[in-house]
Copies of this chain bind each other. A is one copy, B any other.
Amino acid sequence: MKLDNSNGQAPLASDVSTPHPEDEEEEEEIFVPPLNFAMVDNGIFRSGFPNSTNFSFLKSLRLRSVMCLCPEPYPETTAEFLKANGIRLYQFGIDGCKEPFVNIPNDTIREALKVALDIRNHPLLIHCKRGKHRTGCLVGCIRRLQRWCLSSVFDEYQRFAGAKARVSDQRFIELFDISCLKHHPLPFSCSRK
C-alpha cells in the first residue's frame, strides 16, 4: 500500500522499516565496475579481478559465466557470490609474472577462446588480476578472429595495459595460430548477418 506522507507528519516507526517505492528510487545504488572494466563485444566483458564492491554491478550484468585467467585458488567470497547467482566459473590458470608470456601453452588460450566464443556461456566476464596482460592477450586473439588489423588490436591492448604494455604480449597475439578456430561461429557485432 502506498502511504501518503505529504502532510509533513513524521512517519510511524512501522513505516520506516518498510521501504517505499519512492524512497528506493531516491536512494539510487551507485555501481562500481571492476578495475579496467569494458565491453568487448556482444555478450563478452573484460576486467581486472572483481571484489565484493563490484558484486551489485556484476549482478546487474546478469552474467552466465566468469572466466578467470589466474592460476591461484579463487577467493571464497567471490566464488560464493558466483554460486549464489548461478554464474559458472571457468578457470584457465596462466602465470601472470612470467615474461615473455609466449611461454604459456597455446593450448590454454585455445581452450579459453573456445569457451569465450561459445554463446551458451554468454554473457561472460573474462578477467585476470588487473585486466591488462592475460585478458589483453585473450581479447587480442578474439580481435584477430574478428579480422581486425594488428595496429587496431595493439592499440586496444595498449589502451588497457597503459605504461605496462608488453611487446611480448603483442608478439603472442600476432603469432597465435587462429586457424583451428577460424570456422567457429563468431557471435559478434561484425559477424551478424
Q: Please give the residue numbers on chain A whose beta carbons come within 8 Å of chain B beta carbons, in ascending order.
A: 28-33, 36-42, 45, 57, 60-62, 123, 146-149, 152, 155-156, 159-160, 189-192
Copies in the complex: 2
Q: How far is the CB of A139 from chain B (nearest CB, A)?
A: 11
Bound-state CA distance A30–B144 (Å) is 9
CB pair B152 A37 closer than 8 Å:
yes
Nearest-neighbor residue (CB-CB) of A53 within chain B? B149
**A20 CB, nearest partner CB in chain B, Å:** 17
- Contact partner of A190 among B61, B156, B190, B191, CB < 8 A? B61
- B152 with A39: CB separation less than 8 A: no
Cross-chain contact B40 with A148 (CB below 8 angstroms): no
Q: Taking the nearest CB of chain B, how far is it from the CB of A189, in angstroms? A: 5
